Amino acid sequence: MPSDATAPVTDLEASIEVAAPPAAVWSLVSDPARAREWSPQVLRTVVRRPVGVGTRFLNLNHRGPLVWPTTAKVVAYEPHVRFAFRVSENRTIWSFTLEPTADGGTRLTNRREAPDGISGVSLALTRVALGGVDTFTEELRAGMQETLRRIKAELEG
């Protein structure tokens, strides 16, 4: 069983190149209600429309039979460039950044950042209910890669 004795990794990042222009990629990643189509952790998202900076939404997440809600607020909405939201419960910021490539495609980067650290309550619950911080962090990394692969498949399908 992995140790959680060291400080948790707070910033995670994964990238992929997609054979689609930033506008097409943006249309998918800037719609939180579609997150369940890409993310292996998201069961459902309820979002108020229109989406922009300040929009709040509710996610229902899962890991096997365990289900938990999170609330989030859009903190960056730069069309064709960056979409980001802060999760209230753990203080993390999740984002998609889009960069045009020379061949007309897009480099899509998914990040999780914790500029204010991860809340103690979230860390404690992760240790007790989600197999430990190290284990859950590795699941998040794998989930980010899976999310990007699914977005790419949708766009290049």
Per-chain mean pLDDT for the chain: 93
CA nearest 124: which of 114, 111, 113, 136?
Answer: 136
Residues of the chain where predicted confidence (pLDDT) is lower than 50: 1-5
- Using one digit for the tens of pLDDT, what is the confidence trace for 7-52? 567 899 999 999 999 999 999 999 999 999 999 999 999 998 899 9
* CA angle (135, 137, 143) in 5-degree steps: 105
Paired strand residues for 18: 106
**Alpha-carbon distance 146 to 71, whole Å?**
22
Distances in Å between the alpha carbon of 14 and those of 64, 134, 148?
23, 17, 8
Sequence-distant contacts of 55-64: CB under 8 A, at least 24 apart: 57/32, 57/33, 57/85, 59/32, 59/35, 59/87, 63/130, 63/139
- pTM given for the model: 0.92
Domains annotated for the chain, with CATH where assigned, are: 12-156 (3.30.530.20)
Closest C-alpha to 42, from 154, 137, 113, 147: 147
d(CA 85, CA 2): 29
